[in-house]
Amino acid sequence: MTVRPPRILDATAIVGFFHDNRRLFRLRQMADEGKLQLVFPTTAIAEAQAVIDHSFHSWYALIEGDNVRSVGLAEHAAIECGTWPGSLVVRHVAYEARAMRGVVVTCDRTLYKDYDLDVHVL
C-alpha cells in the first residue's frame, strides 16, 4: 500500500462535506479504507460550524474514524504561527500541514498564497 501524506482540511473544505461535495466524500472513503489520514484542525471546525450550524451528531459522523482525527491548536503551535499571514484558521491549517508534511485541502487556494505548501483545491 502506498503511504499518502495526510490531508489537512480547512473550513472551506469542511463546509463542502455538508454540501455533498463528492470529491470530499471520496477522500473520506479513502480514509475509511486506510489509504490516507484526514485531519480536521479544531479552528477550522469552529469556523465551518459558524457557517453551517449543524448538530453534534452530524459532526460526529464526519470527524470520527480510524484514520480521521481532529487537532487542537497547541500552545507551541499558537506561538509559532501567531505572526504568520492570514486568519487564525489559515495559520493553524498551515502549521499542521507543515508539521505533518500534509496536503491542505481547500476550496480557496488564495487563502494559502503566502505559504509554500502542497494544496489540493476542490
Break the chain into its structural domains and give their ranges.
7-112
Contact 16, 105 (CB under 8 A): no
Higher pLDDT: 11 or 2? It is 11
CATH number (2.40.50.140, 3.90.1150.10, 3.30.390.50, 3.40.50.1010) of 7-112 reads: 3.40.50.1010
Model pLDDT, residue 105:
96
Instruction: Give the integer Cα–Cα distance in Å for 38 and 44.
Output: 13
Confidence class for position 17, pLDDT limits 50, 70, 90: confident
Q: Tens digit of pLDDT for each residue in 46-102?
A: 999 999 988 888 888 888 888 999 999 999 999 989 999 999 999 999 999 999 999
